[in-house]
Amino acid sequence: MRVFYPVSDTLGVLVYAHTGQTPFAESRFLRLLAQTGKQAGLRVFLFDPQSWNPQDNTVTGWVWHEEDGAWKSVRDAVPSLAYDRAWPPTPAESERFRHDLHRLRKSCRLRLMNATLPDKWQMHVLLSRAGLDDLLPPTARYEGPASLQKWLAEHDGAVFLKPARGSQGRRVAVCTMTPEGTLRIRGRQADNRPFELAPSSPEEAINRLHRWIGHHDYLMQKWLQLSDGNGSPLDIRALVQKNGRRRWALTGVAARIGMPGTVTANLHGGGTAVPAEALLANMYGNAKAEQLIKQIRLASRQIVLPLEQSCGHFCELGLDFGVDATGKLWFLEANAKPGRNAMAGIGAAAAKASVVRPIACAKSILCRPSGRVTHEFDHQ
């Protein structure tokens, strides 16, 4: 049975307010979102689902007051549409937030602008079945020391390990065989601090990694050695968003350059963002750079379709790609809650569009709740 949502001029934005006070994570982005919403005739209302009162179906939240330059606390009805920008800082707090949101959605007609992505292994399987194997690095599930030992023997003594669930480059590790026959381990801790362990025997290194992984689900992946040529890790973030017609559009493509000596280029780990085409042209020449950008545009279309068909509708996705030393494009992962720092690093136009498009998409949903949903991309 089709569910109809009431027409509203309020967009709810989910935040994690562990102290019940502002400022929130992403405070600048949320302020810009509120200002852009006001210009479009849309009220932006921030709230934490923990504040829900089932007696009167209200939540405590915040609205931006331009006159005072501050967020003001208000109590309001639960919005009909919500955009998730909550960043609980620990697994326990993430679990609390998910529980509170589930409880709220079970009792209220709260529609989320973004569906939930599957874990990285399920996504790998999904995209492989969609015929995108050529974009996907060889990947397998970590199933204990024996599986890692077998992987290293079959993949030139190198592996990239990453959690099946997680983001921002946290708790990843690279294990590589040295010319002396020992294994070198580098990675990032849960707080994103880089670490490196002295080379040790393969048996000792594998056991140390197994203890470090603990009870978490992990993937083993081909170590692609994605670098800018100067020893810094490099990846490419493509931000795709739905516009006011609920059609996909490519907002921008940024090259993210990590700190020298680290294993990821994620901006939360100290990286920087620059326009991708200019950096790729410097590395591979203008013709190859143009070809790679076209490949990224095409790959983005190919990836979004099976994700929406299998997971539900999204208003935006951050798609991460890598280009190896031979110039081959690889798809690394998708993020359903992409940040805005990468777009801010490549220019004012992309930065502005990254804020405007969620507002335009939300207004379209609120004004036409039962409007046709499309997986198509606008021509750009």
**Mapping DSSP to helix (H, G, I), strand (E, B) and coil, where does residue 162 land?**
strand
Last residue of a domain, one of 197, 221, 245: 221
Can you give the CATH number for the domain in which 94 is found? 3.40.50
Tell me the pLDDT band of 20, cut-offs 50, 70 and 90: low
Cα dihedral 348, 353, 356, 357, rounded to 10, equals -170
Instruction: State residue 378's pLDDT score.
Output: 67
Is residue 249 a part of any domain in this protein?
yes
Query: Does residue 377 belong to any structural domain of this protein?
Result: no
Q: What single letter denotes the amino acid at residue 354?
A: S
Which segment of 17-31, 207-221, 232-246 scores lowest on mean pLDDT?
17-31
Q: What integer pLDDT is reported at residue 178 of this predicted model? A: 86
> What is the rounded average pLDDT of the residues 221-225?
89
Residues 57 and 149 reside in one and the same domain: no
Predicted local confidence at residue 273, as pLDDT: 87
Whether 173 and 237 share a structural domain: no
Higher-pLDDT residue of 331, 179? 331
- Nearest in space to 301 (alpha carbons), one of 178, 94, 139, 127: 127
Residue 361 confidence (pLDDT): 95
pLDDT tens digits for range 66-110: 999 999 999 999 999 999 999 888 888 889 999 999 999 988 889
Instruction: Return the pLDDT at 62.
Output: 94
Question: Looking at residues 291-305, what average pLDDT do you find?
Answer: 96
Q: Decide if 374 is inside a domain.
A: no
pLDDT at residue 371 in the model: 54
Q: Work out the average pLDDT over 7-29.
A: 79
Question: What mean pLDDT do residues 184-194 have?
Answer: 82
CATH code at 252? Answer: 3.30.470
In a shared domain, residues 180 and 108: no
**188 and 83 co-located in one domain:** no
Contact 263, 187 (CB under 8 A): yes
- Average model confidence (pLDDT) across the chain: 88
**Closest by Cα among 266, 361, 255 to 36:** 361
Helix (H, G, I), strand (E, B) or coil at 22: coil
pLDDT digits (tens, 9 = 90+) for 302-332: 999 999 999 999 999 999 999 998 899 999 9
Verify that 211 and 236 share a domain, yes or no: no
Maximum mean pLDDT: which of 21-25, 33-37, 364-368: 33-37
What are the tokens at 375?
Answer: 């997986």
Mean pLDDT on 8-29:
81
Q: Above 80 in pLDDT, residue 335?
A: yes
* DSSP H/E element including 47: strand 43-47
Per-residue confidence (pLDDT) for residue 372, from 0 to 100 = 58
The 10s digit of each residue's pLDDT in 342-378 is 998 899 999 999 999 999 999 999 987 555 555 566 6
Same domain, yes or no: 30 and 163: no
Cβ neighbours for 344, distance < 8 A, ≥ 6 positions apart: 273, 350, 351
pTM above 0.75, yes or no: yes
Position 193 scores a pLDDT of 80
Question: Phi, psi at residue 210, to the nearest 5°?
Answer: -65, -40
Maximal CA-CA distance, the chain: 69
pLDDT, position 272:
84
* Lowest-confidence region among 37-46, 100-109, 191-200: 191-200
Same domain for 217 and 153: yes
Q: Using N-to-C axis directions, what is the helix angle for 286-311 and 276-284, rounded to 10°?
A: 130
Domain range for residue 210?
139-221
Tens digit of pLDDT for each residue in 234-285?
Answer: 899 999 999 999 999 999 999 998 877 676 666 665 678 899 999 999 999 9
153 and 127 belong to one structural domain: no
Overall average pLDDT of the 218-226 stretch: 90
Instruction: State how far the alpha carbon of 269 is from the alpha carbons of 113, 170, 263, in Å.
Output: 28, 9, 10
- The confidence score (pLDDT) of residue 4 equals 39
Q: How many domains does the chain have?
A: 3
pLDDT of 21 higher than 70: no
